[in-house]
Structure 1
Protein backbone atom coordinates (compact mmCIF):
# COMPACT_ATOMS: atom_id res chain seq x y z
CA UNK A 1 0.00 0.00 0.00
CA UNK A 2 1.23 3.49 -0.82
CA UNK A 3 2.61 5.41 2.15
CA UNK A 4 1.55 9.08 2.16
CA UNK A 5 2.67 9.77 5.73
CA UNK A 6 5.42 12.08 4.50
CA UNK A 7 2.70 14.57 3.59
CA UNK A 8 1.61 16.46 6.72
CA UNK A 9 -1.84 17.15 5.31
CA UNK A 10 -2.70 13.45 5.62
CA UNK A 11 -2.44 13.71 9.39
CA UNK A 12 -5.42 16.09 9.46
CA UNK A 13 -7.27 14.53 6.52
CA UNK A 14 -6.24 10.85 6.58
CA UNK A 15 -6.29 8.88 3.35
CA UNK A 16 -8.65 5.94 3.56
CA UNK A 17 -7.49 4.89 0.09
CA UNK A 18 -3.86 6.01 -0.17
CA UNK A 19 -3.43 4.31 -3.54
CA UNK A 20 -5.94 6.78 -5.02
CA UNK A 21 -5.34 10.39 -5.94
CA UNK A 22 -6.15 12.61 -2.96
CA UNK A 23 -8.21 15.75 -3.67
CA UNK A 24 -8.40 18.58 -1.12
CA UNK A 25 -11.13 20.96 -2.21
CA UNK A 26 -14.73 22.13 -1.97
CA UNK A 27 -17.36 22.99 -4.60
CA UNK A 28 -16.31 26.54 -5.52
CA UNK A 29 -15.73 27.64 -9.13
CA UNK A 30 -12.03 26.88 -8.72
CA UNK A 31 -12.55 23.69 -6.77
CA UNK A 32 -15.00 22.09 -9.18
CA UNK A 33 -12.53 22.38 -12.04
CA UNK A 34 -10.60 19.47 -10.59
CA UNK A 35 -13.56 17.40 -9.39
CA UNK A 36 -15.19 17.75 -12.82
CA UNK A 37 -11.92 16.81 -14.50
CA UNK A 38 -11.51 13.74 -12.32
CA UNK A 39 -15.08 12.67 -13.03
CA UNK A 40 -14.55 13.19 -16.77
CA UNK A 41 -11.35 11.16 -16.99
CA UNK A 42 -12.45 8.42 -14.62
CA UNK A 43 -9.30 8.44 -12.50
CA UNK A 44 -9.95 6.94 -9.03
CA UNK A 45 -9.66 9.58 -6.32
CA UNK A 46 -10.53 10.30 -2.71
CA UNK A 47 -12.09 13.73 -2.06
CA UNK A 48 -11.51 15.62 1.18
CA UNK A 49 -13.80 18.54 2.04
CA UNK A 50 -11.80 21.61 3.10
CA UNK A 51 -13.94 24.10 4.99
CA UNK A 52 -12.77 27.60 4.05
CA UNK A 53 -15.45 29.02 6.34
CA UNK A 54 -13.47 27.53 9.22
CA UNK A 55 -10.16 28.78 7.74
CA UNK A 56 -8.94 25.22 7.21
CA UNK A 57 -6.76 26.30 4.29
CA UNK A 58 -4.66 28.32 6.73
CA UNK A 59 -3.87 25.40 9.00
CA UNK A 60 -0.25 24.19 9.06
CA UNK A 61 -1.31 20.89 7.53
CA UNK A 62 -2.97 22.47 4.50
CA UNK A 63 -0.21 25.06 4.07
CA UNK A 64 2.28 22.21 3.93
CA UNK A 65 0.63 21.21 0.66
CA UNK A 66 -0.22 24.66 -0.69
CA UNK A 67 1.71 27.54 0.89
CA UNK A 68 -0.72 29.93 -0.81
CA UNK A 69 -3.57 28.62 1.33
CA UNK A 70 -6.07 28.03 -1.48
CA UNK A 71 -8.06 25.08 -2.75
CA UNK A 72 -7.85 22.89 -4.77
CA UNK A 73 -4.74 20.81 -4.21
CA UNK A 74 -3.92 17.18 -4.86
CA UNK A 75 -1.53 14.41 -3.99
CA UNK A 76 -1.10 11.82 -6.72
CA UNK A 77 0.41 8.67 -5.19
CA UNK A 78 1.41 7.57 -8.68
CA UNK A 79 3.13 10.66 -9.98
CA UNK A 80 5.97 10.93 -12.49
CA UNK A 81 8.32 7.99 -12.17
CA UNK A 82 5.87 6.32 -9.80
CA UNK A 83 6.68 8.69 -6.93
CA UNK A 84 3.94 10.66 -5.12
CA UNK A 85 3.40 14.17 -6.46
CA UNK A 86 1.82 17.10 -4.59
CA UNK A 87 0.35 19.84 -6.74
CA UNK A 88 -1.65 23.04 -6.24
CA UNK A 89 -3.18 25.67 -8.59
CA UNK A 90 -6.24 24.46 -10.49
CA UNK A 91 -4.84 25.23 -13.94
CA UNK A 92 -1.64 23.31 -13.27
CA UNK A 93 -3.67 20.39 -11.93
CA UNK A 94 -5.87 20.32 -15.05
CA UNK A 95 -2.85 20.23 -17.34
CA UNK A 96 -1.19 17.54 -15.22
CA UNK A 97 -4.27 15.30 -15.19
CA UNK A 98 -4.81 15.78 -18.92
CA UNK A 99 -1.23 14.83 -19.71
CA UNK A 100 -1.24 11.93 -17.23
CA UNK A 101 -4.30 10.34 -18.84
CA UNK A 102 -4.07 11.61 -22.41
CA UNK A 103 -7.57 13.09 -22.16
CA UNK A 104 -9.16 16.52 -22.75
CA UNK A 105 -5.99 18.15 -24.11
CA UNK A 106 -5.04 17.86 -27.78
CA UNK A 107 -1.66 16.31 -28.50
CA UNK A 108 -1.01 18.20 -31.72
CA UNK A 109 1.25 21.10 -30.67
CA UNK A 110 -0.75 23.95 -32.22
CA UNK A 111 -4.08 22.76 -30.81
CA UNK A 112 -2.47 22.02 -27.45
CA UNK A 113 -1.15 25.55 -27.06
CA UNK A 114 -4.42 27.03 -28.28
CA UNK A 115 -6.25 25.06 -25.59
CA UNK A 116 -3.78 26.22 -22.96
CA UNK A 117 -4.23 29.87 -23.93
CA UNK A 118 -7.94 29.58 -23.18
CA UNK A 119 -7.21 27.87 -19.86
CA UNK A 120 -4.92 30.78 -18.99
CA UNK A 121 -7.60 33.22 -20.19
CA UNK A 122 -9.89 31.76 -17.54
CA UNK A 123 -7.20 31.78 -14.89
CA UNK A 124 -5.97 35.31 -15.53
CA UNK A 125 -9.20 37.06 -16.50
CA UNK A 126 -12.52 35.29 -16.06
CA UNK A 127 -11.86 33.93 -12.57
CA UNK A 128 -10.48 37.11 -10.98
CA UNK A 129 -13.00 39.44 -12.62
CA UNK A 130 -16.08 37.31 -12.02
CA UNK A 131 -14.95 36.76 -8.45
CA UNK A 132 -14.75 40.51 -7.87
CA UNK A 133 -18.28 40.92 -9.22
CA UNK A 134 -19.37 38.31 -6.70
CA UNK A 135 -17.65 40.13 -3.85
CA UNK A 136 -19.04 43.58 -4.67
CA UNK A 137 -22.52 42.39 -5.70
CA UNK A 138 -23.30 39.54 -3.29
CA UNK A 139 -20.85 39.60 -0.41
CA UNK A 140 -19.33 42.24 1.88
CA UNK A 141 -18.56 44.64 -0.95
CA UNK A 142 -22.24 45.25 -1.60
CA UNK A 143 -22.30 47.42 1.51
CA UNK A 144 -19.71 49.82 0.09
CA UNK A 145 -21.15 53.22 -0.71
CA UNK A 146 -18.69 53.73 -3.54
CA UNK A 147 -20.10 51.69 -6.44
CA UNK A 148 -17.23 52.36 -8.81
CA UNK A 149 -15.44 49.07 -8.02
CA UNK A 150 -18.60 47.08 -8.81
CA UNK A 151 -19.16 49.07 -11.99
CA UNK A 152 -15.58 48.51 -13.07
CA UNK A 153 -15.71 44.73 -12.54
CA UNK A 154 -19.16 44.42 -14.11
CA UNK A 155 -17.96 46.23 -17.22
CA UNK A 156 -14.87 44.03 -17.49
CA UNK A 157 -16.91 40.87 -16.94
CA UNK A 158 -19.30 41.90 -19.71
CA UNK A 159 -16.32 42.42 -21.99
CA UNK A 160 -14.91 39.00 -21.13
CA UNK A 161 -18.26 37.35 -21.78
CA UNK A 162 -18.20 39.08 -25.15
CA UNK A 163 -14.81 37.53 -25.89
CA UNK A 164 -16.20 34.12 -25.00
CA UNK A 165 -19.37 34.77 -27.00
CA UNK A 166 -17.32 35.53 -30.10
CA UNK A 167 -15.08 32.52 -29.58
CA UNK A 168 -18.08 30.18 -29.32
CA UNK A 169 -19.72 31.40 -32.54
CA UNK A 170 -20.15 28.28 -34.66
CA UNK A 171 -18.51 26.09 -31.99
CA UNK A 172 -20.01 23.63 -29.52
CA UNK A 173 -16.96 23.96 -27.27
CA UNK A 174 -14.18 26.47 -26.83
CA UNK A 175 -11.92 24.39 -29.06
CA UNK A 176 -14.65 23.52 -31.55
CA UNK A 177 -15.87 19.93 -31.68
CA UNK A 178 -13.53 18.82 -28.88
CA UNK A 179 -14.49 19.28 -25.25
CA UNK A 180 -11.27 20.13 -23.40
CA UNK A 181 -9.81 21.42 -20.16
CA UNK A 182 -10.56 24.92 -21.46
CA UNK A 183 -14.27 24.16 -21.02
CA UNK A 184 -13.69 22.41 -17.69
CA UNK A 185 -11.86 25.47 -16.38
CA UNK A 186 -14.54 27.94 -17.44
CA UNK A 187 -17.93 26.29 -16.95
CA UNK A 188 -18.07 26.67 -13.17
CA UNK A 189 -17.22 30.36 -13.27
CA UNK A 190 -19.92 31.28 -15.79
CA UNK A 191 -22.42 29.15 -13.87
CA UNK A 192 -21.50 30.91 -10.63
CA UNK A 193 -21.68 34.40 -12.11
CA UNK A 194 -25.28 34.04 -13.24
CA UNK A 195 -26.36 31.59 -10.54
CA UNK A 196 -24.85 31.90 -7.08
CA UNK A 197 -23.69 35.49 -7.60
CA UNK A 198 -27.01 36.48 -9.21
CA UNK A 199 -25.26 38.85 -11.60
CA UNK A 200 -26.90 37.80 -14.86
CA UNK A 201 -28.82 41.04 -15.30
CA UNK A 202 -25.79 43.13 -14.37
CA UNK A 203 -23.68 41.63 -17.15
CA UNK A 204 -26.53 41.45 -19.73
CA UNK A 205 -26.27 37.68 -19.87
CA UNK A 206 -29.68 37.49 -21.53
CA UNK A 207 -28.31 39.28 -24.59
CA UNK A 208 -25.86 36.46 -25.25
CA UNK A 209 -26.60 33.45 -27.41
CA UNK A 210 -23.52 31.28 -27.73
CA UNK A 211 -22.36 31.35 -24.12
CA UNK A 212 -25.72 30.23 -22.65
CA UNK A 213 -25.97 27.41 -25.20
CA UNK A 214 -22.42 26.30 -24.36
CA UNK A 215 -23.13 26.44 -20.62
CA UNK A 216 -26.27 24.36 -21.07
CA UNK A 217 -24.35 21.74 -23.03
CA UNK A 218 -21.66 21.64 -20.37
CA UNK A 219 -24.04 21.38 -17.43
CA UNK A 220 -25.84 18.51 -19.16
CA UNK A 221 -22.73 16.34 -19.00
CA UNK A 222 -23.09 13.68 -16.27
CA UNK A 223 -19.47 14.12 -15.16
CA UNK A 224 -20.02 17.86 -14.77
CA UNK A 225 -23.16 17.29 -12.74
CA UNK A 226 -21.28 14.95 -10.40
CA UNK A 227 -18.20 17.14 -10.18
CA UNK A 228 -20.20 20.21 -9.22
CA UNK A 229 -21.24 18.48 -5.99
CA UNK A 230 -17.82 17.20 -4.90
CA UNK A 231 -16.35 16.99 -2.37
CA UNK A 232 -19.61 16.42 -0.53
CA UNK A 233 -20.32 18.81 2.30
CA UNK A 234 -20.37 17.16 5.74
Structure 2
Protein backbone atom coordinates (compact mmCIF):
# COMPACT_ATOMS: atom_id res chain seq x y z
CA UNK A 1 0.00 0.00 0.00
CA UNK A 2 1.05 3.60 -0.58
CA UNK A 3 1.40 6.15 2.18
CA UNK A 4 -1.99 7.63 1.27
CA UNK A 5 -3.83 4.33 1.46
CA UNK A 6 -2.08 2.64 4.39
CA UNK A 7 -4.22 1.77 7.40
CA UNK A 8 -3.17 2.47 10.98
CA UNK A 9 -2.38 -0.71 12.87
CA UNK A 10 -5.12 -1.57 15.33
CA UNK A 11 -4.89 -4.04 18.19
CA UNK A 12 -8.38 -5.02 19.42
CA UNK A 13 -8.83 -4.83 23.20
CA UNK A 14 -9.78 -7.95 25.12
CA UNK A 15 -13.28 -6.51 25.67
CA UNK A 16 -14.68 -3.91 23.29
CA UNK A 17 -16.39 -0.89 24.83
CA UNK A 18 -18.42 1.83 23.15
CA UNK A 19 -16.60 5.04 23.94
CA UNK A 20 -17.28 7.31 20.98
CA UNK A 21 -19.02 7.53 17.63
CA UNK A 22 -17.30 5.55 14.92
CA UNK A 23 -17.47 8.37 12.42
CA UNK A 24 -19.01 8.42 8.97
CA UNK A 25 -22.27 9.69 7.59
CA UNK A 26 -24.54 7.56 9.77
CA UNK A 27 -22.48 7.53 12.96
CA UNK A 28 -25.10 9.42 14.95
CA UNK A 29 -27.64 6.59 14.63
CA UNK A 30 -25.28 3.72 15.39
CA UNK A 31 -25.31 2.16 18.85
CA UNK A 32 -24.61 -1.31 20.27
CA UNK A 33 -27.97 -1.79 22.00
CA UNK A 34 -31.56 -2.28 20.86
CA UNK A 35 -34.83 -0.87 22.17
CA UNK A 36 -36.47 2.56 22.06
CA UNK A 37 -34.76 5.79 23.07
CA UNK A 38 -37.96 7.80 23.43
CA UNK A 39 -41.74 7.50 23.52
CA UNK A 40 -43.39 8.21 20.18
CA UNK A 41 -46.56 6.64 18.87
CA UNK A 42 -46.85 5.97 15.15
CA UNK A 43 -49.40 7.76 13.02
CA UNK A 44 -52.13 5.65 11.42
CA UNK A 45 -53.94 6.59 8.22
CA UNK A 46 -57.11 5.35 6.57
CA UNK A 47 -55.80 2.50 4.40
CA UNK A 48 -55.36 -1.22 5.18
CA UNK A 49 -51.57 -0.99 5.06
CA UNK A 50 -49.47 1.42 7.07
CA UNK A 51 -45.89 1.66 5.89
CA UNK A 52 -43.17 3.38 7.90
CA UNK A 53 -40.14 3.82 5.71
CA UNK A 54 -37.56 5.80 3.79
CA UNK A 55 -36.64 5.43 0.10
CA UNK A 56 -33.42 3.52 0.65
CA UNK A 57 -33.04 0.39 -1.47
CA UNK A 58 -34.77 -1.69 1.21
CA UNK A 59 -37.58 0.83 1.51
CA UNK A 60 -38.01 1.11 -2.25
CA UNK A 61 -38.61 -2.64 -2.50
CA UNK A 62 -41.86 -2.33 -0.58
CA UNK A 63 -43.23 0.84 -2.17
CA UNK A 64 -42.56 -0.62 -5.63
CA UNK A 65 -44.39 -3.79 -4.62
CA UNK A 66 -47.39 -1.87 -3.30
CA UNK A 67 -47.56 0.28 -6.43
CA UNK A 68 -47.25 -2.81 -8.64
CA UNK A 69 -50.11 -4.45 -6.75
CA UNK A 70 -52.31 -1.39 -7.20
CA UNK A 71 -51.39 -1.17 -10.88
CA UNK A 72 -52.40 -4.82 -11.26
CA UNK A 73 -55.87 -4.04 -9.85
CA UNK A 74 -55.45 -5.18 -6.23
CA UNK A 75 -57.42 -2.40 -4.54
CA UNK A 76 -56.87 -3.99 -1.14
CA UNK A 77 -53.23 -2.97 -1.38
CA UNK A 78 -53.98 0.72 -0.74
CA UNK A 79 -51.56 2.14 1.76
CA UNK A 80 -50.38 5.12 3.74
CA UNK A 81 -46.63 5.67 3.68
CA UNK A 82 -45.14 7.62 6.55
CA UNK A 83 -41.64 9.09 6.32
CA UNK A 84 -39.13 7.72 8.83
CA UNK A 85 -36.10 9.98 8.81
CA UNK A 86 -33.41 7.66 10.12
CA UNK A 87 -30.94 10.53 10.40
CA UNK A 88 -33.16 12.00 13.13
CA UNK A 89 -33.53 8.72 15.02
CA UNK A 90 -37.26 8.30 14.35
CA UNK A 91 -36.73 4.53 14.10
CA UNK A 92 -35.88 4.43 17.80
CA UNK A 93 -39.30 5.71 18.89
CA UNK A 94 -41.36 3.31 21.00
CA UNK A 95 -44.10 2.95 18.38
CA UNK A 96 -41.66 2.06 15.63
CA UNK A 97 -39.80 -0.41 17.83
CA UNK A 98 -43.14 -2.12 18.53
CA UNK A 99 -43.48 -2.75 14.78
CA UNK A 100 -39.82 -3.56 14.17
CA UNK A 101 -37.75 -4.48 17.24
CA UNK A 102 -34.65 -4.18 15.03
CA UNK A 103 -35.28 -0.44 14.47
CA UNK A 104 -34.70 -0.63 10.72
CA UNK A 105 -36.89 0.51 7.86
CA UNK A 106 -39.15 -0.59 6.28
CA UNK A 107 -41.82 -1.67 8.76
CA UNK A 108 -45.40 -2.54 7.81
CA UNK A 109 -48.67 -2.92 9.69
CA UNK A 110 -51.56 -4.78 8.07
CA UNK A 111 -54.81 -3.40 9.53
CA UNK A 112 -57.02 -5.42 7.20
CA UNK A 113 -57.02 -8.23 9.77
CA UNK A 114 -57.71 -8.45 13.50
CA UNK A 115 -55.51 -8.12 15.37
CA UNK A 116 -53.33 -6.09 13.00
CA UNK A 117 -50.24 -7.94 11.79
CA UNK A 118 -46.77 -6.42 11.95
CA UNK A 119 -44.23 -7.36 9.29
CA UNK A 120 -40.58 -6.33 9.33
CA UNK A 121 -37.57 -7.08 7.11
CA UNK A 122 -38.05 -6.04 3.48
CA UNK A 123 -37.87 -9.58 2.11
CA UNK A 124 -40.49 -10.78 4.58
CA UNK A 125 -42.76 -7.87 3.62
CA UNK A 126 -42.44 -8.69 -0.08
CA UNK A 127 -43.24 -12.34 0.56
CA UNK A 128 -46.16 -11.46 2.85
CA UNK A 129 -47.73 -9.20 0.22
CA UNK A 130 -47.08 -11.65 -2.62
CA UNK A 131 -48.80 -14.46 -0.71
CA UNK A 132 -51.65 -12.28 0.52
CA UNK A 133 -52.58 -11.14 -2.99
CA UNK A 134 -51.31 -14.12 -4.99
CA UNK A 135 -49.29 -11.79 -7.17
CA UNK A 136 -45.71 -11.40 -8.39
CA UNK A 137 -44.91 -14.91 -7.32
CA UNK A 138 -44.87 -17.81 -9.81
CA UNK A 139 -47.54 -20.47 -9.53
CA UNK A 140 -45.24 -23.16 -10.90
CA UNK A 141 -43.54 -24.87 -7.93
CA UNK A 142 -40.12 -25.01 -9.59
CA UNK A 143 -40.23 -21.33 -10.53
CA UNK A 144 -41.48 -20.41 -7.06
CA UNK A 145 -38.54 -22.23 -5.53
CA UNK A 146 -36.21 -20.41 -7.90
CA UNK A 147 -37.82 -17.12 -6.88
CA UNK A 148 -37.28 -17.88 -3.20
CA UNK A 149 -33.65 -18.75 -3.83
CA UNK A 150 -32.99 -15.44 -5.56
CA UNK A 151 -34.95 -13.48 -2.94
CA UNK A 152 -32.85 -14.94 -0.15
CA UNK A 153 -29.73 -14.45 -2.27
CA UNK A 154 -30.48 -10.75 -2.35
CA UNK A 155 -31.15 -10.54 1.37
CA UNK A 156 -27.86 -12.28 2.12
CA UNK A 157 -25.75 -10.51 -0.51
CA UNK A 158 -26.84 -6.87 -0.23
CA UNK A 159 -25.04 -6.23 3.10
CA UNK A 160 -21.76 -6.70 1.22
CA UNK A 161 -22.91 -4.04 -1.24
CA UNK A 162 -24.45 -1.59 1.23
CA UNK A 163 -22.68 -2.05 4.52
CA UNK A 164 -19.45 -3.11 2.86
CA UNK A 165 -18.81 -1.43 -0.48
CA UNK A 166 -21.18 1.49 0.01
CA UNK A 167 -19.91 2.26 3.48
CA UNK A 168 -16.19 2.24 2.72
CA UNK A 169 -16.46 3.76 -0.78
CA UNK A 170 -19.00 6.50 -0.04
CA UNK A 171 -19.69 7.01 3.66
CA UNK A 172 -16.64 6.16 5.78
CA UNK A 173 -14.86 9.24 7.20
CA UNK A 174 -11.60 8.17 5.54
CA UNK A 175 -10.80 6.21 2.38
CA UNK A 176 -8.71 3.06 2.82
CA UNK A 177 -7.68 0.81 -0.05
CA UNK A 178 -7.97 -2.55 1.67
CA UNK A 179 -11.71 -2.47 2.56
CA UNK A 180 -12.61 -0.73 -0.71
CA UNK A 181 -10.74 -3.37 -2.73
CA UNK A 182 -12.22 -6.17 -0.63
CA UNK A 183 -15.84 -5.10 -1.08
CA UNK A 184 -15.42 -3.91 -4.67
CA UNK A 185 -14.23 -7.38 -5.59
CA UNK A 186 -17.26 -8.94 -3.91
CA UNK A 187 -19.69 -6.47 -5.47
CA UNK A 188 -18.33 -7.16 -8.94
CA UNK A 189 -18.48 -10.91 -8.30
CA UNK A 190 -22.14 -10.53 -7.36
CA UNK A 191 -22.84 -8.49 -10.49
CA UNK A 192 -21.22 -11.28 -12.50
CA UNK A 193 -23.49 -13.84 -10.81
CA UNK A 194 -26.50 -11.78 -11.89
CA UNK A 195 -25.17 -11.15 -15.38
CA UNK A 196 -24.56 -14.82 -16.07
CA UNK A 197 -28.09 -15.75 -14.98
CA UNK A 198 -29.68 -12.95 -16.99
CA UNK A 199 -27.71 -13.96 -20.10
CA UNK A 200 -30.11 -16.90 -20.40
CA UNK A 201 -33.18 -15.58 -18.58
CA UNK A 202 -35.40 -12.54 -18.98
CA UNK A 203 -36.32 -12.56 -15.29
CA UNK A 204 -34.93 -14.26 -12.22
CA UNK A 205 -37.67 -16.85 -11.85
CA UNK A 206 -39.52 -17.29 -15.13
CA UNK A 207 -41.65 -14.16 -14.77
CA UNK A 208 -41.44 -10.73 -13.17
CA UNK A 209 -41.61 -11.38 -9.44
CA UNK A 210 -40.64 -10.14 -6.01
CA UNK A 211 -37.16 -11.53 -6.67
CA UNK A 212 -36.72 -9.01 -9.48
CA UNK A 213 -38.13 -6.21 -7.33
CA UNK A 214 -35.78 -7.02 -4.45
CA UNK A 215 -32.66 -7.38 -6.58
CA UNK A 216 -33.44 -4.35 -8.76
CA UNK A 217 -33.82 -2.08 -5.74
CA UNK A 218 -30.17 -2.67 -4.92
CA UNK A 219 -28.29 -3.90 -7.98
CA UNK A 220 -30.51 -2.36 -10.64
CA UNK A 221 -30.23 1.06 -9.08
CA UNK A 222 -26.49 0.52 -8.67
CA UNK A 223 -25.87 -0.08 -12.38
CA UNK A 224 -28.21 2.77 -13.29
CA UNK A 225 -25.92 5.11 -11.36
CA UNK A 226 -28.22 5.82 -8.42
CA UNK A 227 -26.20 4.29 -5.59
CA UNK A 228 -22.94 5.69 -4.21
CA UNK A 229 -22.05 7.45 -7.52
CA UNK A 230 -20.10 4.29 -8.25
CA UNK A 231 -21.26 3.20 -11.71
CA UNK A 232 -18.07 4.29 -13.47
CA UNK A 233 -15.84 2.95 -10.68
CA UNK A 234 -17.49 -0.47 -10.98
CA UNK A 235 -17.48 -0.36 -14.80
CA UNK A 236 -21.14 -1.37 -14.78
CA UNK A 237 -21.45 -1.19 -18.56
CA UNK A 238 -19.61 -4.50 -18.81
CA UNK A 239 -22.61 -6.24 -17.21
CA UNK A 240 -24.74 -5.91 -20.31
CA UNK A 241 -27.43 -8.38 -19.26
CA UNK A 242 -27.89 -6.71 -15.90
CA UNK A 243 -28.14 -3.34 -17.64
CA UNK A 244 -30.81 -4.62 -20.03
CA UNK A 245 -32.83 -6.08 -17.16
CA UNK A 246 -32.40 -2.97 -14.98
CA UNK A 247 -33.53 -0.61 -17.73
CA UNK A 248 -36.59 -2.78 -18.48
CA UNK A 249 -37.74 -2.66 -14.87
CA UNK A 250 -36.91 1.04 -14.57
CA UNK A 251 -39.37 1.79 -17.38
CA UNK A 252 -42.32 0.35 -15.44
CA UNK A 253 -44.63 3.18 -14.21
CA UNK A 254 -45.19 1.48 -10.85
CA UNK A 255 -41.44 1.37 -10.30
CA UNK A 256 -41.15 5.10 -10.96
CA UNK A 257 -43.91 5.78 -8.44
CA UNK A 258 -42.40 3.40 -5.92
CA UNK A 259 -39.06 5.20 -6.10
CA UNK A 260 -40.76 8.49 -5.27
CA UNK A 261 -42.50 7.43 -2.07
CA UNK A 262 -40.77 8.39 1.19
CA UNK A 263 -37.93 9.94 -0.80
CA UNK A 264 -36.51 12.87 1.16
CA UNK A 265 -33.17 13.34 -0.56
CA UNK A 266 -31.73 14.12 -3.98
CA UNK A 267 -31.78 17.19 -6.19
CA UNK A 268 -34.90 16.33 -8.21
CA UNK A 269 -37.79 17.56 -6.07
CA UNK A 270 -40.31 16.18 -8.58
CA UNK A 271 -39.18 12.69 -7.52
CA UNK A 272 -39.78 13.32 -3.83
CA UNK A 273 -43.12 12.35 -2.30
CA UNK A 274 -42.34 12.45 1.40
CA UNK A 275 -45.62 10.81 2.41
CA UNK A 276 -48.17 8.96 0.33
CA UNK A 277 -51.81 8.74 1.43
CA UNK A 278 -53.65 8.75 -1.91
CA UNK A 279 -52.84 7.92 -5.52
CA UNK A 280 -53.42 11.57 -6.41
CA UNK A 281 -50.50 12.59 -4.19
CA UNK A 282 -48.10 11.80 -7.04
CA UNK A 283 -49.70 14.63 -9.03
CA UNK A 284 -50.22 17.17 -6.27
CA UNK A 285 -47.87 16.63 -3.31
CA UNK A 286 -44.35 16.06 -4.64
CA UNK A 287 -41.82 18.49 -3.18
CA UNK A 288 -41.52 20.56 -6.35
CA UNK A 289 -45.25 21.37 -6.14
CA UNK A 290 -45.26 21.96 -2.39
CA UNK A 291 -42.29 24.32 -2.71
CA UNK A 292 -44.16 26.63 -5.13
State TM-score, norm by structure 1.
0.88
User: Structure 2: which 5+ runs fail to align?
Assistant: 1-39, 71-76, 263-272, 276-292
**For the residues of structure 2 that align with 1:165 and 1:133, how far apart are their CA atoms?**
19
Q: Which residue of 1 aligns with 2:204?
A: 174
Aligned pair count? 217
Check whether the contact 1:158–1:204 (CA below 8 A) recurs between aligned residues: no
Which whole-Å deviations, capped at 9, do the CAs of 1:76-110 have from their partners, x for residues lacking one? 0124xx54111100001101100000000112222
Q: Which residue of 2 aligns with 1:223?
A: 254
State TM-score, norm by structure 2.
0.71
Check whether the contact 2:81–2:261 (CA below 8 A) recurs between aligned residues: yes
Alignment equivalent of 1:32, drawn from 60, 69, 80: 60
53-62 vs 215-224, which moves further: 53-62
Check whether the contact 2:82–2:274 (CA below 8 A) recurs between aligned residues: no
Q: Which residue of 1 aligns with 2:105?
A: 71
**For the residues of structure 2 that align with 1:138 and 1:224, how far apart are their CA atoms?**
25
Q: In the alignment, does 2:173 pair up with 1:136? A: no
130-139 vs 47-56, which moves further: 130-139
Higher RCO, 1 vs 2 (CA within 8 Å, ≥6 residues apart): 1
| Cα deviation, residue 207, structure 1 | 1.0
SS, match of residue 196 in structure 1: coil
Check whether the contact 1:134–1:197 (CA below 8 A) recurs between aligned residues: yes
Q: Equivalent residues in 2 for 1:102-113 (5 A)? A: 102-113=134-145
Q: Which residue of 2 aligns with 1:8?
A: none
User: Structure 1: which 5+ runs fail to align?
Assistant: 1-10
Q: Equivalent residues in 2 for 1:13-92 (5 A)? A: 13-17=42-46, 19-42=47-70, 43-79=77-113, 82-92=114-124
CA RMSD of superposed structures (Å): 1.5
Larger radius of gyration: 2
Q: Equivalent residues in 2 for 1:121-160 (5 A)? A: 121-125=153-157, 127-131=158-162, 132-141=164-173, 143-144=174-175, 146-160=176-190
**For the residues of structure 2 that align with 1:32 and 1:214, how far apart are their CA atoms?**
17
**For the residues of structure 2 that align with 1:168 and 1:16, how far apart are their CA atoms?**
40
**For the residues of structure 2 that align with 1:111 and 1:40, how far apart are their CA atoms?**
20
| Cα deviation, residue 202, structure 1 | 2.6
